[in-house]
Chains A and B, each alone.
Chain A
Amino acid sequence: GDSVTQMEGPVTLSEEAFLTINCTYTATGYPSLFWYVQYPGEGLQLLLKATKADDKGSNKGFEATYRKETTSFHLEKGSVQVSDSAVYFCAALGAGSYQLTFGKGTKLSVIP
Protein backbone atom coordinates (compact mmCIF):
# COMPACT_ATOMS: atom_id res chain seq x y z
CA GLY A 1 0.00 0.00 0.00
CA ASP A 2 0.89 3.66 -0.14
CA SER A 3 3.06 5.15 2.59
CA VAL A 4 4.31 8.60 3.56
CA THR A 5 7.40 9.25 5.65
CA GLN A 6 8.13 12.66 7.09
CA MET A 7 10.86 13.88 9.35
CA GLU A 8 10.42 13.33 13.04
CA GLY A 9 9.81 16.31 15.21
CA PRO A 10 9.59 18.35 17.16
CA VAL A 11 11.33 21.13 15.29
CA THR A 12 12.13 24.37 17.09
CA LEU A 13 13.23 27.43 15.12
CA SER A 14 13.79 31.07 15.82
CA GLU A 15 11.60 33.60 14.07
CA GLU A 16 12.78 34.39 10.51
CA ALA A 17 14.71 31.12 10.24
CA PHE A 18 14.47 28.90 7.14
CA LEU A 19 12.22 25.86 7.43
CA THR A 20 12.45 22.51 5.69
CA ILE A 21 10.29 19.52 6.59
CA ASN A 22 11.18 16.46 4.56
CA CYS A 23 8.54 14.16 3.11
CA THR A 24 8.92 11.10 0.91
CA TYR A 25 6.25 8.76 -0.39
CA THR A 26 5.76 5.36 -1.91
CA ALA A 27 2.76 4.79 -4.14
CA THR A 28 1.77 3.09 -7.33
CA GLY A 29 1.31 5.42 -10.24
CA TYR A 30 1.40 9.15 -9.70
CA PRO A 31 -0.31 10.24 -6.52
CA SER A 32 -1.51 13.71 -5.68
CA LEU A 33 0.47 15.20 -2.80
CA PHE A 34 -0.66 17.49 -0.03
CA TRP A 35 0.58 19.35 2.99
CA TYR A 36 -1.90 19.92 5.80
CA VAL A 37 -1.43 22.10 8.88
CA GLN A 38 -3.07 21.59 12.27
CA TYR A 39 -3.18 24.46 14.73
CA PRO A 40 -3.82 23.67 18.41
CA GLY A 41 -7.40 22.62 19.07
CA GLU A 42 -8.35 22.60 15.41
CA GLY A 43 -8.74 20.14 12.56
CA LEU A 44 -6.34 19.75 9.70
CA GLN A 45 -6.39 22.45 7.05
CA LEU A 46 -5.07 22.13 3.53
CA LEU A 47 -1.90 24.19 3.18
CA LEU A 48 -0.91 23.35 -0.39
CA LYS A 49 -1.04 20.60 -2.95
CA ALA A 50 0.53 19.35 -6.19
CA THR A 51 -1.04 16.88 -8.56
CA LYS A 52 1.73 16.01 -11.01
CA ALA A 53 5.48 15.81 -11.30
CA ASP A 54 7.38 19.12 -11.11
CA ASP A 55 4.28 20.97 -9.91
CA LYS A 56 4.99 23.45 -7.14
CA GLY A 57 2.34 24.08 -4.55
CA SER A 58 2.52 27.32 -2.60
CA ASN A 59 0.53 29.16 0.03
CA LYS A 60 1.23 31.65 2.84
CA GLY A 61 4.95 31.68 1.99
CA PHE A 62 5.21 27.88 2.11
CA GLU A 63 6.28 25.91 -0.95
CA ALA A 64 6.69 22.27 -1.93
CA THR A 65 7.72 20.75 -5.25
CA TYR A 66 6.56 17.34 -6.47
CA ARG A 67 9.79 15.46 -7.29
CA LYS A 68 9.02 12.20 -9.04
CA GLU A 69 12.65 11.16 -9.36
CA THR A 70 13.20 11.31 -5.62
CA THR A 71 9.55 10.60 -4.64
CA SER A 72 9.67 13.64 -2.39
CA PHE A 73 7.51 16.64 -1.51
CA HIS A 74 9.54 18.65 0.99
CA LEU A 75 7.92 21.66 2.64
CA GLU A 76 9.92 24.91 2.78
CA LYS A 77 9.48 28.43 4.03
CA GLY A 78 12.10 31.11 3.82
CA SER A 79 11.25 32.99 7.01
CA VAL A 80 9.02 31.44 9.65
CA GLN A 81 6.85 33.38 12.07
CA VAL A 82 5.62 32.56 15.54
CA SER A 83 2.15 32.11 14.03
CA ASP A 84 3.48 29.19 11.94
CA SER A 85 3.78 27.08 15.08
CA ALA A 86 1.63 24.03 14.37
CA VAL A 87 1.77 20.39 13.36
CA TYR A 88 2.40 19.75 9.65
CA PHE A 89 1.23 16.60 7.87
CA CYS A 90 2.34 15.35 4.49
CA ALA A 91 -0.22 13.22 2.64
CA ALA A 92 -0.55 11.27 -0.60
CA LEU A 93 -3.66 10.31 -2.57
CA GLY A 94 -3.08 7.46 -4.99
CA ALA A 95 -4.47 7.81 -8.49
CA GLY A 96 -8.11 6.71 -8.45
CA SER A 97 -7.98 6.11 -4.71
CA TYR A 98 -10.32 7.55 -2.10
CA GLN A 99 -7.99 7.23 0.87
CA LEU A 100 -5.40 9.82 1.83
CA THR A 101 -2.26 8.35 3.37
CA PHE A 102 -0.86 10.67 6.04
CA GLY A 103 2.59 10.97 7.51
CA LYS A 104 2.90 11.01 11.30
CA GLY A 105 3.12 14.78 11.48
CA THR A 106 5.92 17.16 12.43
CA LYS A 107 5.43 19.62 15.25
CA LEU A 108 6.97 23.02 14.57
CA SER A 109 7.56 25.57 17.31
CA VAL A 110 8.78 29.03 16.35
CA ILE A 111 10.20 31.15 19.16
CA PRO A 112 10.53 34.94 19.08
Chain B
Amino acid sequence: DAGVIQSPRHEVTEMGQEVTLRCKPISGHNSLFWYRQTMMRGLELLIYFNNNVPIDDSGMPEDRFSAKMPNASFSTLKIQPSEPRDSAVYFCASRPGQGDNSPLHFGNGTRLTVT
Protein backbone atom coordinates (compact mmCIF):
# COMPACT_ATOMS: atom_id res chain seq x y z
CA ASP B 1 0.00 0.00 0.00
CA ALA B 2 1.54 3.29 -1.12
CA GLY B 3 -0.33 5.34 1.41
CA VAL B 4 -1.86 8.74 0.74
CA ILE B 5 0.08 10.47 -2.03
CA GLN B 6 0.28 14.23 -2.30
CA SER B 7 1.89 16.40 -4.91
CA PRO B 8 3.82 18.56 -5.14
CA ARG B 9 5.85 18.25 -1.93
CA HIS B 10 6.86 21.89 -2.14
CA GLU B 11 5.30 24.79 -3.98
CA VAL B 12 6.63 28.33 -4.12
CA THR B 13 4.51 30.88 -5.90
CA GLU B 14 3.94 34.60 -6.11
CA MET B 15 0.97 36.35 -4.63
CA GLY B 16 -1.98 36.37 -7.01
CA GLN B 17 -1.07 33.13 -8.75
CA GLU B 18 -3.29 30.06 -8.81
CA VAL B 19 -2.13 27.06 -6.82
CA THR B 20 -3.41 23.50 -7.18
CA LEU B 21 -2.58 20.80 -4.69
CA ARG B 22 -3.26 17.15 -5.48
CA CYS B 23 -4.09 14.07 -3.46
CA LYS B 24 -4.53 10.39 -4.14
CA PRO B 25 -6.16 8.64 -1.17
CA ILE B 26 -5.58 5.04 -0.19
CA SER B 27 -7.54 2.71 -2.44
CA GLY B 28 -10.82 1.68 -0.84
CA HIS B 29 -10.95 4.63 1.54
CA ASN B 30 -14.26 6.45 1.20
CA SER B 31 -13.52 9.48 3.36
CA LEU B 32 -11.05 12.18 2.42
CA PHE B 33 -9.97 15.24 4.39
CA TRP B 34 -7.90 18.34 3.62
CA TYR B 35 -6.08 19.96 6.54
CA ARG B 36 -3.89 23.03 6.86
CA GLN B 37 -1.09 23.20 9.43
CA THR B 38 0.55 26.40 10.65
CA MET B 39 2.55 27.29 13.73
CA MET B 40 -0.09 29.77 14.84
CA ARG B 41 -3.25 27.70 14.36
CA GLY B 42 -2.02 24.12 14.41
CA LEU B 43 -4.07 21.64 12.37
CA GLU B 44 -7.25 23.01 10.80
CA LEU B 45 -9.79 20.90 8.94
CA LEU B 46 -10.62 22.61 5.65
CA ILE B 47 -13.02 20.20 3.97
CA TYR B 48 -14.30 16.64 4.24
CA PHE B 49 -15.53 14.39 1.43
CA ASN B 50 -17.41 11.13 1.77
CA ASN B 51 -17.89 8.97 -1.32
CA ASN B 52 -16.57 11.88 -3.43
CA VAL B 53 -19.25 14.26 -2.12
CA PRO B 54 -18.28 17.31 -0.05
CA ILE B 55 -19.95 16.90 3.33
CA ASP B 56 -18.45 19.71 5.37
CA ASP B 57 -16.61 22.69 3.89
CA SER B 58 -17.12 25.01 6.84
CA GLY B 59 -13.37 25.13 7.42
CA MET B 60 -12.57 26.56 4.00
CA PRO B 61 -11.30 30.01 4.91
CA GLU B 62 -12.49 32.02 1.93
CA ASP B 63 -13.99 31.79 -1.53
CA ARG B 64 -10.44 31.80 -2.85
CA PHE B 65 -10.26 28.19 -1.69
CA SER B 66 -12.04 25.40 -3.55
CA ALA B 67 -11.78 21.61 -3.50
CA LYS B 68 -12.98 18.88 -5.79
CA MET B 69 -13.09 15.13 -5.79
CA PRO B 70 -14.00 14.00 -9.31
CA ASN B 71 -13.49 10.32 -8.49
CA ALA B 72 -12.58 8.02 -5.64
CA SER B 73 -8.87 8.16 -6.34
CA PHE B 74 -8.20 11.87 -6.80
CA SER B 75 -8.84 15.19 -5.12
CA THR B 76 -7.59 18.74 -5.62
CA LEU B 77 -7.41 21.81 -3.43
CA LYS B 78 -7.15 25.05 -5.35
CA ILE B 79 -6.30 28.53 -4.14
CA GLN B 80 -7.02 31.37 -6.55
CA PRO B 81 -5.66 33.96 -6.10
CA SER B 82 -3.05 32.97 -3.54
CA GLU B 83 -1.91 35.31 -0.77
CA PRO B 84 1.14 35.23 1.54
CA ARG B 85 -1.05 34.30 4.51
CA ASP B 86 -1.92 31.05 2.72
CA SER B 87 1.63 29.84 3.33
CA ALA B 88 1.33 26.61 5.31
CA VAL B 89 1.64 22.86 5.03
CA TYR B 90 -1.45 21.31 3.49
CA PHE B 91 -2.24 17.70 4.32
CA CYS B 92 -4.59 15.26 2.71
CA ALA B 93 -5.83 12.33 4.78
CA SER B 94 -8.15 9.40 4.16
CA ARG B 95 -9.90 6.68 6.13
CA PRO B 96 -12.03 3.69 5.19
CA GLY B 97 -15.48 4.86 6.23
CA GLN B 98 -17.64 7.44 7.90
CA GLY B 99 -18.70 7.10 11.50
CA ASP B 100 -16.42 4.20 12.37
CA ASN B 101 -13.38 4.55 14.61
CA SER B 102 -10.76 3.79 12.01
CA PRO B 103 -7.76 6.11 12.14
CA LEU B 104 -6.85 8.74 9.60
CA HIS B 105 -3.96 8.10 7.23
CA PHE B 106 -2.07 11.24 6.28
CA GLY B 107 0.01 12.09 3.25
CA ASN B 108 3.37 13.79 3.65
CA GLY B 109 1.90 17.17 2.87
CA THR B 110 2.54 20.02 0.47
CA ARG B 111 4.55 22.92 1.86
CA LEU B 112 3.19 26.05 0.20
CA THR B 113 5.09 29.32 0.24
CA VAL B 114 3.43 32.39 -1.25
CA THR B 115 5.74 35.36 -1.68
Q: List residues of A whose CB falls within 8 A of some B CB.
A: 32, 34, 36, 41-46, 49, 51, 89, 93, 96-100, 102, 104-105
B70 within 8 A of A: no
Residue of A nearest to B101 (CB): A32
Asked whether B12 is an interface residue with its Cβ less than 8 Å from the other chain, the reply is no
Question: In the docked arrangement, what's the CA distance between A45 and B48, Å?
Answer: 19
Interface residues of B (CB under 8 A from A): 4, 31, 42-43, 45, 48, 50, 55-56, 91, 93, 98-99, 101, 103-109
Name the A residues within 8 Å of B43 (CB-CB): 89, 102, 105
Q: Would you mind naming 19 contact pairs between A and B with Cβ atoms under 8 Å apart?
A: A32-B101, A36-B106, A41-B108, A43-B4, A43-B91, A43-B106, A43-B107, A44-B104, A89-B43, A93-B101, A97-B99, A98-B48, A98-B98, A98-B99, A99-B45, A99-B48, A102-B43, A104-B42, A105-B42
Seed contacts A44-B91, A99-B48; 9 additional CB < 8 Å A-B pairs: A32-B101, A36-B106, A51-B101, A89-B43, A98-B55, A98-B56, A99-B56, A100-B104, A105-B42
Number of A-B contacts (CB under 8 A): 44
Contacts of B55 in A (CB 8 A): 98
A98 touching B50, Cβ below 8 Å? yes
How far apart sit A42 and B93, CA to CA, in the bound complex (Å)? 13
Among A43, A44, A51, A100, max chain B CB count under 10 A is at A43
